[in-house]
Structure 1
Amino acid sequence: MFGTSVTYAPARTFKAEKAVSADGSVRWVIASDEYELHSESSAYLASLRSRDRSINTERVYAGRVALYLTYCAANGLDWAAPGFAALSRFLHWLVEEPLPPRGRRRRTEPRHRSRTTANQILTTVGEFLRFGVPNGWVRPETAAMLSEEKYLSFLPPGYSAGEDGQYRVINAKSIKFNVAVPGYEWLNDEQFEQLVNVTTRARDRFLVCLLGATGIRIGEALGLHRQDMHLLSTSASLGCRVLGPHIHVRRRQNANGALAKSRMPRWIPVDENLVSLYAEYSYEREHIPEAADCDMVFVNLFRAPLGKPMSYPNAKDLFDRLAVKAGFAARPHMLRHTAATRWIRSDTPRDVVQNLLGHVSPSSMDPYVHATEADKRAAVDRLAAKRRQESKA
Structure 2
Amino acid sequence: MQTLVEDFLQYLRHERGQSEHTQKTYAALLGKFLNWAQIQKLTDWKEVELKHLTAFLMFERERLVEVKEGQSPRKLSSESVYLEIAALRAFYKFAENEKILPLNIAESLSLPRRWKRLPKALSDLEITQLLTLEIPETPRTLGDQAVLELAYASGLRLAELRNIRMEQLHLEVGFINVIGKGNKERVVPVGSKAVQALQRYLESGRPKLVTPRSPANVFLTMRGTPFAAVTLWKRIKDRVKRSGVARNVTPHMLRHSFATHLLEHGADLRVIQELLGHANISTTEIYTHVSGSRLREVHRKFHPRG
**TM class by shorter-chain length?**
0.7 to 0.9
* CA–CA distance in structure 2, aligned partners of residues 293 and 382 of structure 1: 54
Instruction: Check conservation: 1:298, 1:309, Cα contact below 8 A.
Output: yes
Instruction: Check conservation: 2:64, 2:75, Cα contact below 8 A.
Output: yes
Note the alpha carbon deviations across 1:140-180, whole angstroms, 9 max, x for none.
Answer: 1xx23x235xxxxxxxxxxxxxxxxxxxxxxxxx3443343
* CA–CA distance in structure 2, aligned partners of residues 100 and 359 of structure 1: 33
Whether 1:147 aligns to 2:107 is: yes
Return 306-315 or 44-53, whichever deviates more: 306-315
- Structure ranking higher on relative contact order (CA contacts 8 Å, 6+ apart): 2
* CA–CA distance in structure 1, aligned partners of residues 77 and 237 of structure 2: 20
Whether 1:213 aligns to 2:153 is: yes
Instruction: Check conservation: 1:130, 1:138, Cα contact below 8 A.
Output: no
- Residue from 167, 170, 182 that aligns with 1:230: 170
Question: Following TM superposition, by how much is the alpha carbon of 1:186 offset from its aligned partner in structure 2, in angstroms?
Answer: 2.4
Question: Following TM superposition, by how much is the alpha carbon of 1:274 offset from its aligned partner in structure 2, in angstroms?
Answer: 1.7
Whether 1:310 aligns to 2:227 is: yes
4+ residue runs over 6 A deviation: 197-200, 322-325
Greater fraction of residues in helix:
2
Question: Following TM superposition, by how much is the alpha carbon of 1:51 offset from its aligned partner in structure 2, in angstroms?
Answer: 2.1
One-letter amino acid of the counterpart of residue 339, structure 1: F
* CA–CA distance in structure 2, aligned partners of residues 379 and 230 of structure 1: 41
Structure 1 residue matching 2:285: 3-state secondary structure: helix
* CA–CA distance in structure 2, aligned partners of residues 97 and 324 of structure 1: 37
- Tell me what 1:284 maps to: 205
Once the two structures are superposed, the pairs formed by residues 65-76 of structure 1 within 5 Å of their partners are 65-76=30-41
- Tell me what 2:24 maps to: 59
Point out where structure 1 has 5 or more consecutive residues left out of the alignment. 6-37, 149-173, 233-242, 252-258, 387-393
* CA–CA distance in structure 2, aligned partners of residues 374 and 181 of structure 1: 17
- Tell me what 2:267 maps to: 348
Once the two structures are superposed, the pairs formed by residues 1-393 of structure 1 within 5 Å of their partners are 5=1, 38-48=2-12, 49-78=14-43, 80=45, 81-100=47-66, 106-109=68-71, 110=73, 113-135=76-98, 137-140=100-103, 143-144=104-105, 146-148=106-108, 174-193=109-128, 195-196=130-131, 201-232=141-172, 243=173, 246-251=174-179, 259-261=180-182, 263-271=184-192, 273-282=193-202, 283-290=204-211, 293-301=214-222, 306-318=223-235, 326-359=245-278, 362-370=281-289, 371=291, 374-380=294-300, 384-385=304-305
**Aligned residues between the structures:** 294
Question: Following TM superposition, by how much is the alpha carbon of 1:225 offset from its aligned partner in structure 2, in angstroms?
Answer: 1.2
State the identity %. Answer: 18
Query: Structure 1 residues 92, 316: CA separation in 2 closer, same or farther (over 3 Å shift)?
Result: farther
Question: Following TM superposition, by how much is the alpha carbon of 1:197 offset from its aligned partner in structure 2, in angstroms?
Answer: 6.5
Point out where structure 2 has 5 or more consecutive residues left out of the alignment. 135-139
Q: CA RMSD in A?
A: 3.4
* CA–CA distance in structure 2, aligned partners of residues 364 and 176 of structure 1: 17
Structure 2 residue matching 1:286: 3-state secondary structure: helix
* CA–CA distance in structure 2, aligned partners of residues 367 and 119 of structure 1: 19
**TM-score when scaled to structure 2?**
0.78
Instruction: Check conservation: 1:56, 1:312, Cα contact below 8 A.
Output: no
